[in-house]
Amino acid sequence: MQIEINNIFFESAIVFYLIASITGVVVLLKGKKAVSRLIIGLALAGFILHTAYIAVRYIEEGHFPASNLHDASSLFTWCIVVLFFVIEYRYKLGLLGSFIMPIVSVFMLSSSMLPIKINPSLDPMLNSYWFSIHTILAFLGDAAFAMAFGIGIMYLIQEKYVKSKHLSGLFQRLPSLQTLDEINYRLITLGFPLLTLAIITGVIWAKTVWGKSLQGDPKELWSFATWLIYALVLHLRLTVGWRGRKAAILSIIGFLIVIFTFFGVNLIFKGFHAFS
Amino acid sequence: MNILVIGLNHKTADIEVREKVAFDGPKLGEAAEIFKNSLEVKENVILSTCNRVEIYAVVRDIASGAGHIKKILSDYHQVPLDFIDKSLYVYSGRKALNHIFRVASSLDSMIVGEPQILGQLKDAFDFALQKKSSGVLLNKLMKKAISVAKRIRTETKIAENAVSISFAAVELAKKIFEDLSTKTFFLIGAGEMAELAARHLINNGVKDVFVANRTYERSVELAREFNGKVVEFDNFVQELIDADIVICSTGAPHYILVKEQMHKIMKQRKNSPMFIIDISVPRNIDPEINDIDNIYLYDIDDMDGVVEINIQERSKEAEKAERIIDAEVDTFLKWHTSLSAVPTIVSLRDKAEAIRKEELGITLRKLNGLKEEEIRAIEALTNSIVHKLIHFPTSALKSEAEDKDIMVDIVRRLFDLDISGGSESGNRRESETDEKES
């Protein structure tokens, strides 16, 4: 009974996110300011339901609800929505929802298609509080990269308008290049230390569970690749000034690797991170 | 006599074509002289700006006059006529008036409502007056155009949010930089449009201002005005490292900044974005520089795109302005047709006849009891006096003299003939307001 109610939370959260995305796309095509408020409202409704769902899952499972790919992507999406609100509140970009909510919807839909069943064999190691710290850090970091991805796309679109001198369409409604570049940079400087800490806590956690810090698990390797990419993004920016378009492209590539690390690795390789 | 407009503008010709036919510096005087000396062209005013080159002329015959002016254009600039012909527009009669009024009121400008064009038109007119290349018709027309432009500026909101290139430059800068208060602005060269844009940017709060000009004194002058620093013109490239927004407007006939130099500069400023506006015609900055990452180079044609944004907002006001222009064209045409001899002769005769009849009536009423014959004799006397008196002006008007327009105008004024009298007093008012403003 409880599970059914909770599924209603989850499914209605998806519905709200989807409506928000569709509204977002419509706003992109022919938008008005009042409508971007509507997107935030819809996202907020979805978010509340989503939060309720995660809370119930926590109680149900008895540990941090991130032990299978369904829960993990749901929690990851939740982190993206949190950051979306933070950035929207801080910068009031207006169109951000049109770029972020579709990503949110896609992740939620993939989450809904993944098996909801909890793998009991993982139980002992999941009781460690390192687990919750590790996952929340990793997900917040990845969420920052997801936002950087959305902002990067916005940058590339706006850059194309300014460079090609066709100042029509979205040009007026998109934020300035500098604002977008700055937010992109801040998100990466937020995501990078979070990812670093996630890797460190992961290592500590592994040590407390197995007594060994590295397992050679593909997810570990790909996370390290992600870390390297973003380290490179920051390095190039600070030394040779790879900002603007190049930074935006790198943050898009970086996030594609994040997605691969998140889903792809689980589907292709087998390892203990591949929860199912 | 026919009023003719021949020209090209930002809509019909690319900057490559416009730079070739521009009359800058001493060329303007030379061209005015050439037109003045040609038999076809009786009066001329030349308007040459970054966005348009137009010849306003009074010609005897529209077709041959137009052909002649085109030939002078292509000969003088040494460009084949084929090259410019497709860009040239030719208007006569009502259309010509309409065009001139639209240009003066900035309805035909790249940025509709921008105020500079009126100043440029005034300059062109002053120059023509000074060179004595304009005459009765164009003088009247130019004065009218200026007063129409002023009327439109006060009666419509067309100029309210348009401050030409400068307005567009600031809007665009804000889309690149967001916050201008941390940015450095660099003005290379001078010129009315560049200075206006500079002033606008500075009013929007840029942090630092650099000024470089070939004439050092001019740099000092501008730097003082903008509260900025003078940069030696020969060193300006090196100073670009600190510049975020650059406006370039020098009279150089070639590029003063090429891609290779900018590559180096960008490396030194760690790819910090740069917004460069090149409003010089011919262009002073290699357009390929726009290909470099984080540089946004706009030439004067590109600013066209920025304008589109405002078109909708202003189209309503523009409609209002067009209606004013239509009415003013009517007024002017009325005056212009009155200049042809026949109606003037008719009204002169009518007036004389009216005076004769009136005076005759008064006299006959006083001299009661005259015989029929006597009355007839008096009538014949007055008739022949009046006819003999107006014989000379009418035959002069009927002749095909060179200065017939002037004559018609003078006759209408001397004898205070209806239409011309009214518009003349209106004209005087206009020139008074002119003086007040300048």
pLDDT 10s digits, B238-286: 889 999 999 998 878 889 999 999 999 999 998 999 999 998 878 899 9
Q: Same domain, yes or no, for A126 and A77? A: no
Q: Same domain, yes or no, for B22 and B151? A: yes
Q: Same domain, yes or no, for A26 and A161? A: no
pLDDT at B420: 40
pLDDT grade, residue B383 (50/70/90)? very high
pLDDT at A126: 65
Partner residue opposite A245 with nearest CB, options B293, B302, B309? B293
- Looking at every residue in chain A, the average pLDDT score rounds to 85
pLDDT grade, residue B365 (50/70/90)? confident
Check whether B140 has a pLDDT greater than 80. Answer: yes
In a domain, B109, yes or no: yes
Which residue is it, tokens 């900044």?
B257
The last residue of a domain, from among B112, B142, B161 = B161
- CA dist B228 and B215 (Å) reads 16
- CA dist B209 and B229 (Å) reads 6
The last residue of a domain, from among A83, A102, A118 = A118
CATH of the domain at B206: 3.40.50.720
The last residue of a domain, from among B307, B323, B356 = B307
The last residue of a domain, from among B114, B135, B161 = B161
Check whether A6 has a pLDDT greater than 60. Answer: yes
pLDDT at A33: 61
pLDDT grade, residue B430 (50/70/90)? very low
pLDDT at B109: 82
Q: What is the b/e burial string over A182-214, where b = at least 16 CB atoms within 10 angstroms of the residue's CB?
A: bbbbbbbebbbebbebbbebbbebbeebeeeee
Shortest alpha-carbon distance between residue A80 and chain B (Å): 26
User: pLDDT tens digits, residue range B287-306?
Assistant: 999 999 999 999 877 876 66
- CA dist A188 and A230 (Å) reads 7
User: Does an H or E element contain B57, and which?
Assistant: strand B52-59
3-state class (DSSP) for residue B229 = strand
Bridge partners (DSSP) listed for residue B90: B6
Q: Same domain, yes or no, for B174 and B294? A: yes
Can you tell me the mean pLDDT for B86-107? 93
pLDDT at B429: 39
Q: How many domains does one find in chain A? A: 2
pLDDT at B421: 38
In a domain, B209, yes or no: yes
Are the Cβ atoms of A246 and B293 closer than 8 angstroms?
Answer: yes
Q: Same domain, yes or no, for B211 and B148? A: no
pLDDT at A273: 55
Q: Same domain, yes or no, for A225 and A130? A: yes
Q: Spell out the SS3 assignment of A119-185.
A: CHHHHHHHCCHHHHHHHHHHHHHHHHHHHHHHHHHHHHHHHHHHHHCCCCHHHHCCCCHHHHHHHHH
Q: Same domain, yes or no, for A246 and A159? A: yes
A118-127, A170-179, B133-142, B183-192: segment of lowest average pLDDT = A118-127
Q: Same domain, yes or no, for A188 and A101? A: no
Could you give the residue numbers annotated as active site of B?
50
Q: How far is CA B291 from CA A273, B140, B284, B287, B307, in A?
A: 45, 49, 16, 8, 23
Are the Cβ atoms of A178 and B176 closer than 8 angstroms?
Answer: yes
Q: Same domain, yes or no, for A140 and A110? A: no
Q: Same domain, yes or no, for A179 and A190? A: yes
Q: Same domain, yes or no, for B30 and B102? A: yes
Q: Same domain, yes or no, for B298 and B420? A: no
Are the Cβ atoms of B179 and A178 closer than 8 angstroms?
Answer: yes
In a domain, B397, yes or no: yes
In a domain, B117, yes or no: yes
In a domain, B352, yes or no: no
pLDDT at B308: 56
Q: Which residue has the higher pLDDT, B50 or B77?
A: B77
pLDDT at A95: 86
- CA dist A32 and A156 (Å) reads 22
Decide: residue A115, CB within 10 A, 0-12 exposed, 13-18 middle, 19+ buried. exposed
- CA dist A121 and A71 (Å) reads 16
User: Does an H or E element contain B44, and which?
Assistant: strand B41-48
Q: What range does the domain containing A162 cover?
A: 121-276
A10-24, B379-393, B407-421: segment of lowest average pLDDT = B407-421
Largest Cα separation within chain A, whole Å, is 60
Are the Cβ atoms of B272 and A175 closer than 8 angstroms?
Answer: no
Check whether B159 has a pLDDT greater than 80. Answer: no
Q: Same domain, yes or no, for B72 and B137? A: yes
Spatial contact of B187 and B216, defined as CB atoms under 8 Å apart: no
Shortest alpha-carbon distance between residue B270 and chain A (Å): 5
Q: Same domain, yes or no, for A76 and A166? A: no
User: Does an H or E element contain B238, and which?
Assistant: helix B236-239
Q: Which of B221, B226, B178, B176 is nearest to B198 (CA)?
A: B226
- CA dist B405 and B135 (Å) reads 9
pLDDT at B60: 84
pLDDT grade, residue A119 (50/70/90)? low
The last residue of a domain, from among A94, A118, A142 = A118
- CA dist A217 and A271 (Å) reads 6
Q: Which residue has the higher pLDDT, B347 or B55?
A: B55
Q: Which residues of A touch B175 (CB under 8 A)?
A: 158, 162, 171, 176-177
Q: Which residues of B touch A240 (CB under 8 A)?
A: 267, 270-271
Q: How many domains does one find in chain B? A: 3
In a domain, B48, yes or no: yes
Q: Which of B126, B36, B333 is nearest to B118 (CA)?
A: B126
Q: Which residue has the higher pLDDT, A178 or B339?
A: A178
pLDDT at B411: 84
DSSP calls for B82-137:
HHHHTT-EEEEHHHHHHHHHHHHTTSSSSSTT-SHHHHHHHHHHHHHHHHT---HH
Query: Which percentage of chain A shows pLDDT scores above 70?
Result: 88
Q: Same domain, yes or no, for B18 and B155? A: yes
pLDDT at A198: 92
Shortest alpha-carbon distance between residue B312 and chain A (Å): 12
Check whether B381 has a pLDDT greater than 50. Answer: yes
The pTM for the full model equals: 0.64
CA angle A121, A125, A130 (to 5 degrees): 150
Q: How many CB pairs under 8 A join A and B?
A: 58
Can you tell me the mean pLDDT for A176-195? 94
Q: Same domain, yes or no, for B230 and B154? A: no
Q: Same domain, yes or no, for B293 and B241? A: yes
Residue in chain A lying closest to B171 (CA): A172
Q: Residue B431 has which token pair?
A: 């020139």
Extended beta strands in chain A, E state? none
The last residue of a domain, from among A64, A92, A118 = A118
- Partner A contacted by B271 (CB < 8 A): yes
User: pLDDT tens digits, residue range A84-111?
Assistant: 999 999 988 878 989 999 999 999 998 8
B170 CA to centre of own chain = 25
Decide: residue A51, CB within 10 A, 0-12 exposed, 13-18 middle, 19+ buried. middle
- Partner A contacted by B309 (CB < 8 A): yes
Q: Same domain, yes or no, for B396 and B253? A: no
Q: Same domain, yes or no, for B12 and B93? A: yes
Q: Same domain, yes or no, for A273 and A168? A: yes
Can you tell me the mean pLDDT for B65-69? 92
Chosen for mutation from A151, A158, A165 (greatest number of chain B CBs closer than 10 Å) is A165
Spatial contact of B2 and B93, defined as CB atoms under 8 Å apart: yes
Q: Same domain, yes or no, for A13 and A86? A: yes
pLDDT grade, residue B423 (50/70/90)? very low
In a domain, B180, yes or no: yes
Q: What range does the domain containing B237 cover?
A: 164-307
Partner residue opposite A167 with nearest CB, options B177, B272, B309? B309
pLDDT at B297: 94
- CA dist A143 and B93 (Å) reads 68
Can you tell me the mean pLDDT for B209-231? 88
Q: Same domain, yes or no, for A145 and A111? A: no
User: pLDDT tens digits, residue range B16-52?
Assistant: 888 889 998 788 999 999 998 888 888 999 999 888 9
Other beta carbons within 10 angstroms of residue A94's beta carbon come to: 19
Q: Same domain, yes or no, for A90 and A193? A: no
Amino acid at B110: M
Q: Which residues of B touch A236 (CB under 8 A)?
A: none
Respond yes or no on whether the N-terminal peptide bond of residue B282 is cis (omega within 30° of 0): yes
Q: Same domain, yes or no, for B136 and B125? A: yes
In a domain, B131, yes or no: yes
- Partner A contacted by B294 (CB < 8 A): yes
pLDDT at A2: 53
- CA dist A261 and A247 (Å) reads 21
CATH of the domain at B129: 3.30.460.30
Check whether A241 has a pLDDT greater than 90. Answer: no
